[in-house]
Chain A
Amino acid sequence: MADTMAAEAATHSAPREEHRTSTGISNEKLAMWVFLGSECLLFGGLISTYMFNKGRIGPGDIGPADVFDIPFTSVSSFVLLMSSLTMVFAVSSIVRGDLRGNRIWLATTAALGATFVAGQVYEFTAFYSEGLGFTTNLFGSSFYALTGFHGAHVTIGIIMLMSLFVMSLRGNLGPERAEKVEIIGLYWHFVDIVWIVIFTIVYLFPQ
C-alpha cells in the first residue's frame, strides 16, 4: 500500500499526470484542436465569399489593384510569421523551466502580433482614404469582412498571450502549466496559417 502511494505521489510530480484520458491528449488540448477544426470552416466560408465576390465590381469601381500595397503587406505578413517562431520559443522555454525566457518570448510574440494588427489598421486607414469603404462596393465589403475577422482573431490571441504574461509575472505560470502555453500556441499558429492562405488568395493571386 505504501509503495503504491509513493508511486502515485511520484506520478503526481510529472507535469501532465492529471490528463489521464482515453486518447492520452488532455481535454483542453483536444478541445482546442476540435475548435480549430471548426474555425477552418469559418474562414473557409469567408474566403469563399471573398473569391465569389471579388470579380463582381463595376468597371470604374475601386478594386484590389487600385489599393493594394504588396510590399507593405508582405512585410507585415513576415512579422506575423516570425511571431510563430517566437511562439515556439515561448513553449520550448517554459517546458525547460526557463520562466524568464518564457516571459520574454510571450511578450515578443504579442508585440509582433500587435505590430501586424497596427499594420492592418494603417492599411485599412490608407484604403479608406483612397476611397474604399466597407460599404463602397462588393470588394470593399468582402475584403474588410475577411481581413477584419482575421485581425479580430489575432487581437484575441494577443489578449490571451498577455494574460499568460501577467500570469507568469504573478508566479502562476510554472512548467507544470506548460500545456496552457502550448494550447494558446496552437491557436496562434492556426491564425498565422490562415493569414498565409488569406495573403496568397487576396493579395498575391492575379487580380
Chain B
Amino acid sequence: MTVADRTITAPEETLALPAGPAIARRPLGVFSRPQGSEGWQSWLFTVDHKRIGIMYGAAALFFFLVGGAEALFIRLQLAVPNGSVIGAGTYNGVFTMHGVTMIFLVAMPMAAAFANYLLPLQIGARDVAFPRLNAFSFWCFLAGGLLLTSSMLIGGWFQNVPDGGWFNYAPNSGLLFSPHKGIDFYAVGLQITGIASLVSSINLIVTVLNMRTRGMSLFRMPVLTWMLLITQFLLLFAIPVITVALFLLMFDRLWDANFFNVAAGADPLLWQHLFWIFGHPEVYILVLPAFGIVSEIIPTFSRKPIFGYNFMVASGIAIGFMGWGVWAHHMFTSGVGPLAVAAFSVSTMFIAVPTGVKVLNWLATMYGGRLRFTTPMLYAVGVVSMFTIGGLSGVTHSIAPSDTQQTDTYYVVAHFHYVIFGGIILGLFGGLHFWWPKIFGYMLDEGWGKAAFWVILIGFNLTFGPMHILGLQGMSRRIATYRADEGFAFWNMVATVGAFVIAAGVAMLLWNIYKSTRDWKRAGRPDVGPDPWDARSLEWMTASPAPEHNFDREIEVEGQDEFWHRKYGRDESGRVVRAATASEIAHDGSNTKVHLPSPSYWPIVLSGGILLVGYGLIYNLWLVAAGMVLLVGAMYGWILEPADDPEAAGHHGEHEDGRDDGGRDDEEAVTVG
C-alpha cells in the first residue's frame, strides 16, 4: 500500500530498490511476464484482485446453475410417490453433487468473490498482500471444481459420481460399499479446493491485518471486512482438519490403509468427528460473509450507521470461537455418550445468542431509519427474516431428545436450507445487486430485480417450508422415493412446484443481468457515478467500475463510515446536512502513475499441474508424475520470474520496485503447493 502511495507523492524515489537487487534474469528467455489489460490473456494471467473477484463470481454463478439443475432433478424425482424420473443410484449421486456443489463451489466462491473484490477497497489498499497467490487461489479452486463436476460425465453419465452425501460418512465411503471412483473424485476434488481456500485465507488475513490505509484501525473497518476476516480465520483452522480426513479416506481407498476399515478395528466415528470439526465452522464460513453483506446494505438504505457496531463485531468474533464447540450436535444419534450430548446441547443453545444479537442489531438499525426498499434492501430484509426462521429451527436441534427424532428427516433439510438459501444465497444475491454498479459501472434494473426477488422468496418458502412438516411426519431425507400410503405426496408436490418457482426467479435474475447490460450499452454506456446508493464505506469513494489501481491517493481515515462523514456534516442545530457530493470527494481514477504488479503465467500453470495430479491420483499414477513436473516447473517459474517485466513497464507505470509480488512469497508457495 504505502509503496503505491509513495509512488504518487514522489515518483523518483521508488527507483531505489529497497530490497536489494531483484532477481531480474531471464534464464532461457522464458521467464518474462505477460502484459496487457485487454483480451482473454489479460484474464487468464491477471493478478488484479478485482478481476479475480469477478472470475470467482462468474464461476460461482455457473456452478449455481449446475447445482440448481441437480436440485430440480431431486424435486422431479420426489414430486409424486414412487417417482421414476431418475433411478435410486443416480439419485444418490444427484443429491450428493447438489450439496457438494452448492456448498463448496457456489456459496464459498461467491463469498470469495466479494472478499476479493471488496476487502482491499474497503480498507483502502491497492491490492491484496500476495497478488499472484490470489490468482493461484482462484485457478486452484476452479481446477478442483471442474474435477468434481467432471465426475458426472467421465466414464458415463453419473457412473462415477460421488454418492455418499456431502458429509460422506465412513464406512459407506469405503471401497467395499462404494467401489466406483465417485468417492475418489470427492476426496481429491475437495482437497484441491481446500488448498485454494487455505492459500486465499492466508492471503486475505495478511491483507486485512497489514494493508490497511492510514487511520484504518481494526475497529474502524466496515462490518463486512470484519466478518470476512473472521471467515478467513475459520477457513484457516477448519480446512486442515477436513484435509486430514480426506487424506485418510484417500489413503484407505487408493493404498489400502485401514483408517476407516471396520474389519481392522477402525471406528467410523473418527470420520464423523473430523468431518464435523470442519463442518460446523464451515456453516459459519458460509454465513458470516452474508451477515457482513447485510450489515453493509441495511445501514445504507436506512440512512443510519449500523446499530451497535462493537456488538456486531464482537458477536461475529464470538461466533468464530463458539463455532468450534458445537460440532457434535450433528452426531447426537451416533452414540457419543450422554455427557457429550449434554455439553454440545448447551453450547448449541449458547451460540444462538451472538447470532440473535446480530438479528436484533439489524432490526435496531432499521428502526427509525429512513428506509428505501431497493432490490438489495429487499434481499437484506429477506435474509433477516428467513435466516431467523432457520436459526430458530436450529435451536430446536440443540434439544437432544427432539433432535433424535428429527435426525435425517426432512426437518433437517428444511432447517439448513432456511440457513443456506434464506441466509446465505439471499445475502449473496443482495450483495450482487448492491455492488453491481461498483463492479461493472451500471445499475441492474430495479423493476426486474424486485420482481425476481419476490418470485425467489415465494418459491423458496414454497419449497422448504413444507419440508418442516414432511420431516415431522417422518419423511426420511436421502430416500429416492416414497409410497403413496405414507401421506407425503401433497407437500412433496408443493415443494416441487416451489423449486420451479425458484428456477423462474433465478431466470428472471439472469434476464435482468442480460437486459440491464444491453440497455446500458444501447444508451451509450452512461456513467453511474462513484456512489449510486449514497453508501458509507471506502469502496464507493473511487470511480465505478473501480479503476485498476483502486484509489488515486492514499486515504486517511478518521472514523467509522469515513466516506459518509466526508459527504455529510451537522449544522448548528445538530441536523445532518450534506457537506459535499460523492463525485466531489471520490477519486476519478485518473492517476496512471500507480505501480501495479505485473500479470503472471504461473498461477494458472501451477493449478494445471495440481489438476493433473488430481486426475492422476484417481486414474493413473503416471499422470501424477506429469502433473508434478508441471507443478515443480511452475514453482521455479514463479520464483525466477522477474519482480516486474521491464518490457511491461509502459503499461503499469514507470517504476520497478519489486513490491508486493515477485520473489517474496516464493518460499511460502513451496510449502503450500
Interface check A111, CB cutoff 8 A:
no
| Per-position binary interface string of chain B over residues 536-552, scored 1 when its CB falls under 8 Å from any chain A CB and 0 otherwise | 00000000000000000
Q: Do A18 and B670 touch across chains, with their CB atoms under 8 A apart?
A: no
Name B23's contact: one of A34, A135, A140, A172 (CB within 8 Å).
A172
Chain A: how many interface residues by the 8 Å CB criterion? 53
- Cα-based distance from A34 to B240 in the complex (angstroms): 13
Q: Given A12-B16, A35-B671, A176-B19, are A27 and B206 also a contact pair (CB < 8 Å)?
A: yes
- Cα-based distance from A34 to B233 in the complex (angstroms): 9
The chain A residue sitting closest to B252, CB to CB, is A141
| Per-position binary interface string of chain A over residues 17-61, scored 1 when its CB falls under 8 Å from any chain B CB and 0 otherwise | 110111101011011101101110110111001001100111000
Looking at B260-268, B342-350, B386-394, the stretch in contact with chain A turns out to be B260-268
Q: Given A138-B258, A184-B667, are A34 and B205 also a contact pair (CB < 8 Å)?
A: yes
Interface of A is mostly: helix
Q: Do A135 and B210 touch across chains, with their CB atoms under 8 A apart?
A: no
Q: Do B270 and A42 touch across chains, with their CB atoms under 8 A apart?
A: no
The chain A residue sitting closest to B125, CB to CB, is A22
Q: Given A18-B659, A160-B667, are A25 and B210 also a contact pair (CB < 8 Å)?
A: yes
Closest CB-CB distance, B233 to chain A, in whole Å?
Answer: 9
The chain B residue sitting closest to A8, CB to CB, is B13
Q: Given A30-B209, A52-B270, are A134 and B202 also a contact pair (CB < 8 Å)?
A: no
The chain B residue sitting closest to A17, CB to CB, is B18
Q: Do B670 and A31 touch across chains, with their CB atoms under 8 A apart?
A: no
Interface check A177, CB cutoff 8 A:
yes
- Of residues 234 through 290 on chain B, the ones whose CB sits less than 8 Å from some CB of chain A are 236-241, 243-245, 247-248, 251, 255-259, 261, 264-267, 270, 274, 277
Q: Do A46 and B267 touch across chains, with their CB atoms under 8 A apart?
A: no
| Per-position binary interface string of chain A over residues 169-194, scored 1 when its CB falls under 8 Å from any chain B CB and 0 otherwise | 00010101100100110010000000
Q: Do A18 and B19 touch across chains, with their CB atoms under 8 A apart?
A: yes
Q: Do B672 and A35 touch across chains, with their CB atoms under 8 A apart?
A: yes
Name B670's contact: one of A23, A27, A159 (CB within 8 Å).
A159
Q: Do A176 and B258 touch across chains, with their CB atoms under 8 A apart?
A: no
Q: Do B265 and A22 touch across chains, with their CB atoms under 8 A apart?
A: no
**Which A residues are in CB contact (< 8 Å) with B156?**
none
Q: Do B667 and A135 touch across chains, with their CB atoms under 8 A apart?
A: no
- Cα-based distance from A139 to B103 in the complex (angstroms): 34
Q: Do B257 and A8 touch across chains, with their CB atoms under 8 A apart?
A: no
Interface check B39, CB cutoff 8 A:
no
Q: Given A20-B2, A35-B671, A49-B248, are A28 and B16 also a contact pair (CB < 8 Å)?
A: no
Q: Do B264 and A137 touch across chains, with their CB atoms under 8 A apart?
A: yes
Closest CB-CB distance, A143 to chain B, in whole Å?
Answer: 11
Q: Given A53-B259, A141-B251, are A156 and B270 also a contact pair (CB < 8 Å)?
A: no
Q: Do A160 and B19 touch across chains, with their CB atoms under 8 A apart?
A: no
Name A31's contact: one of B13, B19, B130 (CB within 8 Å).
B130
**Which B residues are in CB contact (< 8 Å) with A5?**
10, 12-13
**Which B residues are in CB contact (< 8 Å) with A57?**
265
- Cα-based distance from A172 to B20 in the complex (angstroms): 8
Name A35's contact: one of B2, B243, B261, B668 (CB within 8 Å).
B668
| Per-position binary interface string of chain B over residues 548-586, scored 1 when its CB falls under 8 Å from any chain A CB and 0 otherwise | 000000000000000000000000000000000000000
**Which A residues are in CB contact (< 8 Å) with B668?**
28, 31-32, 35, 183
**Which A residues are in CB contact (< 8 Å) with B20?**
172, 174, 176-177
Interface check A145, CB cutoff 8 A:
yes
Interface check B3, CB cutoff 8 A:
yes
Q: Given A8-B13, A27-B130, A141-B258, are A35 and B241 also a contact pair (CB < 8 Å)?
A: no
Q: Given A22-B209, A187-B671, are A45 and B244 also a contact pair (CB < 8 Å)?
A: yes
The chain B residue sitting closest to A4, CB to CB, is B10
Interface check A142, CB cutoff 8 A:
yes
Interface check A65, CB cutoff 8 A:
no
**Which A residues are in CB contact (< 8 Å) with B671?**
35, 156, 160, 187
Chain B: how many interface residues by the 8 Å CB criterion? 61
- Cα-based distance from A37 to B266 in the complex (angstroms): 29
Q: Given A31-B129, A56-B266, A138-B264, are A42 and B240 also a contact pair (CB < 8 Å)?
A: yes
Q: Given A8-B10, A23-B210, are A38 and B237 also a contact pair (CB < 8 Å)?
A: yes
Closest CB-CB distance, B569 to chain A, in whole Å?
Answer: 28
| Per-position binary interface string of chain B over residues 382-408, scored 1 when its CB falls under 8 Å from any chain A CB and 0 otherwise | 000000000000000000000000000
- Cα-based distance from A56 to B265 in the complex (angstroms): 6
Indicate the member of B12, B18, B216 with the most A CB atoms within 10 Å: B18
Name B236's contact: one of A9, A38, A177, A183 (CB within 8 Å).
A38
- Cα-based distance from A146 to B28 in the complex (angstroms): 41
Interface check B445, CB cutoff 8 A:
no
**Which A residues are in CB contact (< 8 Å) with B277?**
45
**Which A residues are in CB contact (< 8 Å) with B1?**
21
Closest CB-CB distance, B560 to chain A, in whole Å?
Answer: 17
Interface check B534, CB cutoff 8 A:
no
| Per-position binary interface string of chain B over residues 284-307, scored 1 when its CB falls under 8 Å from any chain A CB and 0 otherwise | 000000000000000000000000
Q: Given A38-B202, A49-B248, A141-B259, are A21 and B211 also a contact pair (CB < 8 Å)?
A: yes
Name A135's contact: one of B18, B129, B257 (CB within 8 Å).
B257
- Cα-based distance from A187 to B2 in the complex (angstroms): 28
Name A141's contact: one of B19, B206, B241, B257 (CB within 8 Å).
B257
**Which A residues are in CB contact (< 8 Å) with B248?**
49, 145
**Which B residues are in CB contact (< 8 Å) with A38?**
198, 201-202, 236-237, 239-240
Q: Do A49 and B258 touch across chains, with their CB atoms under 8 A apart?
A: no
Closest CB-CB distance, B121 to chain A, in whole Å?
Answer: 16
Interface check B665, CB cutoff 8 A:
yes
**Which B residues are in CB contact (< 8 Å) with A27?**
129-130, 206, 210-211, 660, 664-665
**Which B residues are in CB contact (< 8 Å) with A35?**
202, 668, 671-672
**Which A residues are in CB contact (< 8 Å) with B665?**
27-28, 31
Indicate the member of A28, A32, A38, A160 with the most B CB atoms within 10 Å: A38
**Which B residues are in CB contact (< 8 Å) with A159?**
670
Q: Do A18 and B18 touch across chains, with their CB atoms under 8 A apart?
A: yes
Q: Given A23-B209, A53-B266, are A37 and B670 also a contact pair (CB < 8 Å)?
A: no
Q: Do B274 and A45 touch across chains, with their CB atoms under 8 A apart?
A: yes
- Cα-based distance from A134 to B461 in the complex (angstroms): 51
Closest CB-CB distance, A163 to chain B, in whole Å?
Answer: 8
- Cα-based distance from A97 to B523 in the complex (angstroms): 64
- Cα-based distance from A31 to B198 in the complex (angstroms): 11
The chain B residue sitting closest to A153, CB to CB, is B671
- Cα-based distance from A145 to B247 in the complex (angstroms): 9
Interface check B212, CB cutoff 8 A:
yes
Interface check B203, CB cutoff 8 A:
yes
**Which B residues are in CB contact (< 8 Å) with A180?**
667
The chain B residue sitting closest to A184, CB to CB, is B667
Closest CB-CB distance, A14 to chain B, in whole Å?
Answer: 9
| Per-position binary interface string of chain B over residues 600-611, scored 1 when its CB falls under 8 Å from any chain A CB and 0 otherwise | 000000000000
- Cα-based distance from A46 to B657 in the complex (angstroms): 42
Closest CB-CB distance, B437 to chain A, in whole Å?
Answer: 29
The chain B residue sitting closest to A52, CB to CB, is B270
- Give 7 pairs: A residue, B residue, CB < 8 Å, sorted on A: A28-B664, A34-B201, A42-B244, A45-B243, A135-B255, A137-B258, A137-B264
Residues on B close to A: CB < 8 A?
1-3, 6, 10, 12-13, 16, 18-21, 23, 129-130, 198, 201-203, 205-206, 209-212, 216, 236-241, 243-245, 247-248, 251, 255-259, 261, 264-267, 270, 274, 277, 657, 659-660, 664-665, 667-668, 670-672
Beyond contacts A141-B257, A177-B19: 17 other A-B pairs, Cβ-Cβ < 8 A, are A12-B13, A18-B3, A18-B18, A27-B210, A28-B665, A31-B130, A31-B203, A34-B236, A42-B241, A45-B240, A49-B248, A135-B255, A138-B261, A138-B265, A163-B670, A172-B20, A187-B667
Lowest 6 CB-CB distances: which A-B pairs, in order? A45-B244, A42-B240, A18-B18, A21-B210, A141-B257, A41-B240
